Amino acid sequence: MPYENKTNYTRRQLQNTMIELLEEKPFEKITINDIASHVHVNRSTVYRYYDDKYDLLETIEDQLLAEMNDLRDSFNPLADRLPLADGLEILKVHFKEFHALLGPNGDRNFEAKMLEGFSKRFDVLIPNDSPENELAKSVIGAAGFASLKYWLFNSDKIDGNQTIEVAEKILTKGALTYIRRLAQHNQQF
């Protein structure tokens, strides 16, 4: 058991280091030496746990995507409440990871996988039998994802609950209705 704890600790350290380095520089410029020296281990220790830096990144992403997919699988698309609040909670718990992976130095493939997951929520209701249906799922998924990503990079300006409230109003009442309401409100001042 103590060896297993040390193994898990080392894995976490390597994963945390990758996230920290992604905040500093692009993935392409991160080396195994960077990772090893940051954790104060030698290169062979890194290779004992991961095949290469791509394997390390993929492991981090897969863990986060699995958590998001679990949320998606428990989501009832016909419920009154959208699952954005639950998605926000996952982002809060893994703020550093999502911030690094979706930031300028992050992995665009990860963003694409997340977007795909967001649109898949509606597979049980909307079949992929027409371009219109695929577009509808894509737009709805992208709107939800964009809302959470906006909060992730603007959490100092807007509260998470405000973000969810605005996104849910737009998604449930329609973008044009929401824009008209804002325009009317701004004309009053």
Does 17 score more than 60 pLDDT?
yes
Contact 128, 134 (CB under 8 A): yes
Note whether residue 132 is domain-resident: yes
Supply the range of the domain harboring residue 98. 57-187
The rounded distance, in Å, linking the Cα atoms of 101 and 90 is 14
pTM for this predicted structure: 0.84
Q: What is the pLDDT of residue 78?
A: 63
pLDDT in tens, 88-128: 888 899 999 999 999 999 999 999 998 888 777 777 777 87
Note whether residue 179 is domain-resident: yes
| CATH number of the domain encompassing residue 103 | 1.10.357
**Domains identified in the chain, total number:** 1
Note whether residue 27 is domain-resident: no
The rounded distance, in Å, linking the Cα atoms of 75 and 13 is 32
